[in-house]
Structure 1
């Protein structure tokens, strides 16, 4: 007879009204849904709303985590390695560890998406840091020593620059 495992992690319900909003000067909004500590390190989840043509993330990779994006509305341009593709409403993208990637709203539409990283990494601080950079309160270089902590390792990508020009 097999037994069903009992998980010590309680269920998590995040109400929309309770999620922290991190607003950017570009009009983009990160809705912080679940950080790793709230899920027993299983995952981290955020909702992003990006205005037309606005980047969501510069080229980077994760060494420890898989990231997936589910497009709720609009279109998302995504760099996966050296390939750039467009994902639309209802599309799912799964990015394995080690694969360089970047994403942003397509030029003609907003992008509304859910982003999940698993296993979870404490990253709410990362999104708050991005807001400070966007507001001119901190520099991009200030993220350099935090790349391991957030498992976000930035890369140069002429292909992404070309695609977004």
Structure 2
């Protein structure tokens, strides 16, 4: 029995249609699909980071899982109390509630495909991160939006210690 209905359509996002949000240096988010575009099924972005650059401070998501597929380079992850390095072709899946952080590994760049499910409208969050990276907004201004974007920041001394070196 098919579950396809005539009203169902596929989402197609050609590369040239993806919104690009510049980050520090040559880093960037490529916004591919937000929760609204997928009826809340998932959200997808591609994140390119320069050598050793941070991707996200320690945080957790209360309502969604997050998948990272390393397209190129090497990424460093904090997963709870564990530090993990993942090379191109590797996959990381973070369940709801698990504090995590990520970035390009020291002396490496990385290119990540990031999928969050279920999807929420988080493109506004990524745009704000771009403004923060560009100096047009402060990180403190983002803190009241943690519930809206389901990004709850936590302090982690392990991540701070390895990323500061």
After TM superposition, the score normalised by the length of structure 1 is 0.95
Gaps of 5+ in 2: none
Is the deviation greater in 3-12 or in 54-63? 3-12
Aligned residue number for residue 57 of structure 1: 56
Structure-2 residue corresponding to 1:147: 146
**C-alpha separation in 2, matches of 1:10 and 1:162:** 47
User: Counterparts in 2 of 1:128-147, with a 5 A limit?
Assistant: 128-147=127-146
**TM-aligned CA deviation for residue 9 of structure 1:** 4.2
Residue 5 of structure 1, CA deviation: 2.0
Alignment correspondent of 1:38: 37
Counterpart of 2:96 in structure 1 is 97
Describe the superposition over 1:50-79 as per-residue Cα deviations: whole angstroms up to 9, x where unpaired: 010000000000000000000011000000
- Cα deviation for residue 21 of structure 1 reads 0.3
Structure 2 equivalent of residue 6 of structure 1: 4
Instruction: Tell me the C-alpha RMSD between the 2 structures.
Output: 1.1
Q: Which runs of 5+ in 1 are unaligned?
A: none
- For normalisation by structure 2, the TM-score amounts to 0.95
**More displaced stretch, 127-136 vs 56-65:** 127-136
Q: Is the 8 A contact 1:84 1:163 kept in 2?
A: no
Query: 3-state SS of the aligned residue for 1:164?
Result: helix
Question: Partner residue of 1:69?
Answer: 68
Whether the aligned pair in 2 keeps the contact of 1:67 and 1:115 (CA below 8 Å) is: yes
